[in-house]
Amino acid sequence: MRLVVKAPTSRTGGMRVGTEHRFERVIRRSFSINSVQLERLSIFLLAHGFVDRALARLCAIDEILVKGTPLTDAEKAKIHRRSISAKIASRIKRARKRGLLSKDAINAAKKINDARNQFMHGKRAFPKFDGKSVLEDDGLYICLSEALKVWLEYARKVKEA
């Protein structure tokens, strides 16, 4: 169902309010979730993306610093591209081995990645944290608190570098 409100502010002469793409409806029905739960699941996946990006950047910075010699911008860019294309599991392993993050932040990143992998590649079970689904407020709050551990340490390390 589409709710259309006419407003002369748009180039077509109308403004669509509260629209839902028909494929969004298919997705929600397929997973038996409502729009609020879909939003929470989306936030979880975006949090995973933030953790993934933080690990990629930390690993790239570490590799650049380990080289010890001045690198050209092109060489630095190549290292960043290689880090981004690596699997998150290998970045977690490097971060653990090189001490790029605390044990707590490493465990948080692993938990988030494992939950995402189980959802995306496994049983399609909704991600859970401490037994609570990310489709519910409590589960999403726990997940975001875990992601924040990684993000805060990442921000501190980048500032120090």
In the 8-state DSSP scheme, what is residue 126?
A: P
Tokens 């993050």 belong to which residue? 101
Helices 103-121 & 137-160 angle (0-180, nearest 10): 130
Q: In whole angstroms, what is the distance from residue 150 CA to residue 129 CA? A: 16
66: exposed, middle or buried (C-beta count within 10 Å: 0-12, 13-18, 19+)? exposed
**pLDDT in the model for residue 10:** 52
Q: What is the full per-residue pLDDT of the chain (161 aa) written as tens digits?
A: 444 444 445 555 555 566 778 898 898 898 899 989 999 999 999 999 999 999 999 999 999 888 878 888 898 899 989 888 889 999 999 999 999 999 999 999 999 999 999 999 877 789 999 999 999 999 999 999 999 999 999 999 988 87
Q: pTM for the full model?
A: 0.82
- Beta strands in 27-117, from DSSP E residues, in sequence order: none
**pLDDT in the model for residue 2:** 43
Given a contact cutoff of 8 angstroms between Cβ atoms, the answer to whether 101 and 153 are in contact is: yes
Classify 22 as helix, strand or coil. helix
**How crowded is residue 159: how many other Cβ atoms within 10 Å of its Cβ?**
7
- pLDDT tens string 28-51: 898 899 989 999 999 999 999 999
CA angle at residue 116 from 110 to 117, to 5 degrees?
85
**pLDDT in the model for residue 8:** 46
- Beta strands in 92-136, from DSSP E residues, in sequence order: 128-129, 132-133
**How crowded is residue 23: how many other Cβ atoms within 10 Å of its Cβ?**
8
